[in-house]
Structure 1
Amino acid sequence: MKVLRNCGVAAAVAGLGMALSLPAFAQSPTVNVGGRIHLDAAKYDDDIVPLNDGVLVRRARLGANGTFGDGWGYKVEWDFAENNVAANDLFISYRGLGPGEFKLGQFKVPFGLNELTSSNAIMFIERSLGTEAFADARRLGAGYEHFEGNYGYQAMVYSRRTGSSSTGDQPLGVGGRFVFNPMNDDSGMVHLGIALAYESTDDADSVRFRARPESRAGGSPRLVDTGSIGNASSTLKLGLEAAWMSGPVSVEAEYMLTDVSRGTGNSDVDFSAFHIQGSYVLGGQRSYRGGRFRGVTPGAWELGLRYSWLDLNDGVIAGGEQSNVTLAVNYYATRNVRFMGNIIRVDQDDTGDKPWALAMRAQVSF
């Protein structure tokens, strides 16, 4: 495994070295300052597990992006929410190694349409159960992506997130995603995607999967949780994506499967998740570019409905099974301001816990 890790690091360094050998830095640097503030509130009608009403600064991000040479770019962004300061995107990029873009630093692992859609543009206040449980979000690594015409691909070699700690060798992950658009024109869009992510846990011999009930304000507990799964040697994740859009109507569906390989004397375990969601936009429509959904026409209202399901039970692991149904009403006041409301019906199958949640968000981005 150390050989594979060294190869991955060497490839990243070699790629950067090739880029550095090319003529660059001929242009004056540019700086574009950006940020987002997401303010959430939630009221719960709990059933078995107590859920506390509350408010939350879900995101408070500030950063900058721009260029600093011929083909060179960068992005730095920190999140100041929940009394923590954490790096989000933190990378340099280069367009000059083939037709696509090379990245080095911390950015999102290419896994999951719902995860890769910006939090400024997601249809619901929180992403689906499966996305929270299985998507890796941002990691430190090196990646390459290219989107052209009716197809696109992304690949990444990665390790831990910056700021995380490990008592042994850090894990090594490899991920890839391929997207195909049979149709993407003025008449509509069809999206088909597949993603794979493999990660060796190496000396970090435990993994854990869990999810909140698609609402975080009030410090809502996780109703499904595998706990630490010991003797985990690796994880392999499969993601299947499908989406369709025509005028004001859009539909998205994803299936995720996670296989955990374990050491001698321990059985492998599999967990899975699925969600399907759709919306109708009054006075506008959603946009799509680069293998992911983007924003909605300013001034529009959006009605959304989602069903999500997550199964964290297999063998001796009893993490729980849960399904949610969520109704959304969103108002896009301007290009930079959005108001969101979600009504969530939760069904924890193992315990029979069936709470309700009313979640709201005020969002500003620039």
Structure 2
Amino acid sequence: MKLSRRTLSMALLAALAAPAAHAEVPIDVIAGSEVSFEGLLQADANWFHSDLANLNGSATDGKDGDFKLRRAELVLKGKGPGNFEWVLGYDAKADKWLDTNLKYKIGGNSSNFVQFGQFKQPNSLEELSSTKNNDFISKATITNTWAVARRVGVAYGMGDANWSVTGSVFGRELTRNLGAGNGFGLRGTWAPINETGNLLHLGLSYARYDAELGAVGNNVQDTQRWRARPNADLSGVRLVDTGNLTLADKVATTGLEGMWVKGPFKLQGEYMRSTTGRGGSFSDFTGKGAYLSALWNVTGETWGYKAGTPTTPLPNEPESGMWQVGLRYDTIDLNDGSLNTSGATPVVTGVLGGKMDAWTLGANWYLRSNFKLAANYVKVTSSKYNSTAKAILHDDPSVVEFRAQFFW
């Protein structure tokens, strides 16, 4: 769905003119379950200042930007009967199921539970955090590349306010032709400091699953491919790309995470290292990356903490809203090989998927309890071996991003 500048502006003005609503809409008590309705609408605009590749993904349309409805999430939730909770979510824009699961809180404690259905797997602080409260418009490159999001499975978790351990076994996504591969995930968190406005969080995760099944030529075989957009969700181009890793077996990703909150300031970072095992004469492929971000609530609010993730507060002053400014450094390395240029023809050993770094400067404005406007400027530097040019090419574009969001 394409949105013109006029359509996007009118939708935004209509949303801002609407009266404030509650964070969720209670519906009724049905069979002992308190049912409520939530929704999230996001409209994005990206303006590309391309370098080598046309980030808009088309060399003929003559446009340097893109405008789209990003998400249209509709979610039913239920509390009860007893210690049961359930959720049924669907994204009408992406035409896919979101969280769709049943949870039982052991002893009524939300930190001790058994969960069945589709849910986000226990890995990545950023992936597990609420989408509507993302610090930046595009998630970090390693999150989009290696974090295991929603899969159908079973999970067991235990802990308290300061620590948690969660394990799961999972298969494919509920919506067909999306994420697949049977596996398991583990995540442990510890908050040695956990006070209002004073928080230190540490986490470790590990996920291992089967590589995806795909067609290569006339053969059907396990194939994995890693690639990344330039921190711009609407870009049709990936600047780093391993290509098809054939005869792939298992994917194993280890993640380290940390977060420090002091009053209105938050530092957050993650590191991931992912290895794709391969059969035959192929060597295993290992990629790695990290991000580090800093966020400041200019209007003085601080963050909460629940289930090993931060929670974003409502504005202290609903009429003027909450203002945030942030800066993030983001890097990913998909090179796991070497390039020999001593002969007449360069020789590549292993995989040279490229390396990409990005700086993102952002601002967010949360107005009342239902609206958010976000603006980002992204500067990217990348390098990747090009087999046609027989050289390493550098592509260093920039992107201006804007998001209008309504949620309830």
* Same-fold status (TM-score > 0.5): yes
1:197 aligned to 207, 214, 221, which one? Answer: 207
Structure label with greater radius of gyration: 2
Q: What does residue 90 of structure 1 align with?
A: 100
Greater Cα shift, 59-68 or 25-34: 25-34
Structure 2 length-normalised TM:
0.79
Which secondary structure does the structure 2 equivalent of 1:267 belong to?
coil
Q: Is the Cα–Cα contact under 8 Å of residues 157 and 164 in structure 2 kept in the other structure?
A: yes
Q: What does residue 119 of structure 1 align with?
A: 131
Post-superposition shift, 1:32?
0.6
Which secondary structure does the structure 2 equivalent of 1:198 belong to?
strand
**Distance in 1 (alpha carbons) for counterparts of 2:368 and 2:323:** 11
Q: Is the Cα–Cα contact under 8 Å of residues 195 and 240 in structure 1 kept in the other structure?
A: yes
Opposite residue 105 of structure 1, the aligned amino acid is: G
Root mean square deviation of aligned Cα: 2.0
Post-superposition shift, 1:119?
1.0
Q: What does residue 232 of structure 1 align with?
A: 248
Q: Is the Cα–Cα contact under 8 Å of residues 121 and 296 in structure 1 kept in the other structure?
A: no
Opposite residue 195 of structure 1, the aligned amino acid is: S
Post-superposition shift, 1:312?
0.9
Instruction: Indicate how the Cα distance of structure 1 residues 29 and 297 shifts in structure 2: closer, same or farther if over 3 A, else same.
Output: closer
Q: What does residue 43 of structure 2 align with?
A: 39
Post-superposition shift, 1:347?
0.7
Alignment of 1:342-361 (within 5 A): 342-350=376-384, 351-361=393-403
Q: What does residue 11 of structure 1 align with?
A: none
**Distance in 2 (alpha carbons) for counterparts of 1:337 and 1:237:** 35
**Distance in 1 (alpha carbons) for counterparts of 2:31 and 2:191:** 35
Aligned residues: 336
Residue deviations 1:129-150, cap 9 Å, x none?
Answer: 1111101111111112234131
Q: Is the Cα–Cα contact under 8 Å of residues 183 and 209 in structure 2 kept in the other structure?
A: yes
Q: Is the Cα–Cα contact under 8 Å of residues 307 and 325 in structure 1 kept in the other structure?
A: yes
Residue deviations 1:273-316, cap 9 Å, x none?
Answer: 10000111111223322211222442211010000000111122
Which secondary structure does the structure 1 equivalent of 2:126 belong to?
helix
**Distance in 1 (alpha carbons) for counterparts of 2:249 and 2:330:** 29
Q: What does residue 107 of structure 1 align with?
A: 119
Gaps of 5+ in 1: 1-24
1:260 aligned to 273, 276, 290, which one? Answer: 276
Which secondary structure does the structure 1 equivalent of 2:127 belong to?
helix
Instruction: Indicate how the Cα distance of structure 1 residues 55 and 238 shifts in structure 2: closer, same or farther if over 3 A, else same.
Output: same
Alignment of 1:1-366 (within 5 A): 28-52=32-56, 53-81=65-93, 84-96=94-106, 100-165=112-177, 171-201=181-211, 205-217=222-234, 219-283=235-299, 284-298=301-315, 299-315=321-337, 316-350=350-384, 351-366=393-408
**Distance in 1 (alpha carbons) for counterparts of 2:135 and 2:222:** 36
Which secondary structure does the structure 1 equivalent of 2:34 belong to?
coil
**Distance in 2 (alpha carbons) for counterparts of 1:165 and 1:39:** 25
Q: Is the Cα–Cα contact under 8 Å of residues 325 and 346 in structure 1 kept in the other structure?
A: yes
Opposite residue 222 of structure 1, the aligned amino acid is: R
Which secondary structure does the structure 1 equivalent of 2:102 belong to?
strand
**Distance in 2 (alpha carbons) for counterparts of 1:109 and 1:54:** 31
Opposite residue 247 of structure 1, the aligned amino acid is: G
**Percent identity among equivalent residues?**
30
Instruction: Indicate how the Cα distance of structure 1 residues 98 and 157 shifts in structure 2: closer, same or farther if over 3 A, else same.
Output: farther
Gaps of 5+ in 2: 1-28, 57-64, 214-220, 316-320, 338-349, 385-392
Instruction: Indicate how the Cα distance of structure 1 residues 76 and 224 shifts in structure 2: closer, same or farther if over 3 A, else same.
Output: same
Structure 1 length-normalised TM:
0.87
Post-superposition shift, 1:202?
8.3
